Chains A and B, each alone.
Chain A
Amino acid sequence: EPEVTQTPSHQVTQMGQEVILRCVPISNHLYFYWYRQILGQKVEFLVSFYNNEISEKSEIFDDQFSVERPDGSNFTLKIRSTKLEDSAMYFCASRESGGGRAEAFFGQGTRLTVV
């Protein structure tokens, strides 16, 4: 069964460092997402991406965040200068078209710990 894969599964970084979280969405999917979940809290939307550009983003997704689809298969989230409060589980998701009916498929997540 096709799945969304994320790497690494766990990343520890020092405050102020840049991190890149990687995702390989399901191959025929057209819409890509990043969500995050701070420990014990709700799943928060960061950004959605379609047709090689950002289609929606939340207030959380400020200038320190960026996304890229560098080669037609990977989808990356870059955090330029990490802060302690960026520590969270980051989930990548993708969906096919299918209008409003299509569900999102989520990866296993990358646990980011900023120290």
Chain B
Amino acid sequence: GDSVTQMEGPVTLSEEAFLTINCTYTATGYPSLFWYVQYPGEGLQLLLKATKADDKGSNKGFEATYRKETTSFHLEKGSVQVSDSAVYFCALRDTGNQFYFGTGTSLTVIP
């Protein structure tokens, strides 16, 4: 079945450090891939998405490239800020209606 595996957290970085959060997926079809972010006390917000192989999703300095050959969709940001502290969820949707989420990676950025 479809599933998403995400890098375990928590991750703590200093401000301006480089961020990578790994995400790999298993799917039977050709899924769309998403990164959602959950700020403390809030709901899930879409951060970026990619709908086909080699697409790059980007938003707010974050990027992720849909790599079919490695079934990956790693999230990167070149220089994190304190305001990026949140929980990040990788997700996919395949041929059905359901979105499958990873376990979430908590990021804390310290000044």
Give residues in A with beta carbon < 8 Å to B.
31, 33, 35, 41-45, 48, 50, 55-56, 91, 93, 100-101, 103-109
Closest residue of B by beta carbon distance from A55: B97
Whether B34 lies near A108 (C-beta < 8 A) is no
Whether B32 lies near A101 (C-beta < 8 A) is yes
Secondary structure class of chain A's binding surface, majority of residues:
strand
Residue of A31, A41, A43 touching B44 (CB-CB under 8 A): A43
Tally of contact residues, B, Cβ under 8 A: 25
In residues 49-106 of chain B, which contact A (Cβ within 8 Å)?
A: 49, 51, 89, 93-104
Give residues in B with beta carbon < 8 Å to A.
30-32, 34, 36, 42-46, 49, 51, 89, 93-104
Whether A56 lies near B96 (C-beta < 8 A) is yes
Whether B104 lies near A42 (C-beta < 8 A) is yes
Residues of B within 8 A of A108 (CB): 42-43
Residue of A42, A45, A50, A55 touching B99 (CB-CB under 8 A): A45
Whether A43 lies near B89 (C-beta < 8 A) is yes
Report A45 CB to chain B, min CB distance, Å. 5
Q: Could you show 21 A-B contacts with beta carbons less than 8 Å apart?
A: A33-B97, A33-B98, A42-B101, A42-B102, A43-B44, A43-B89, A44-B101, A45-B98, A45-B100, A56-B98, A93-B44, A93-B99, A100-B30, A100-B31, A100-B32, A100-B94, A101-B49, A106-B44, A106-B45, A107-B43, A108-B43
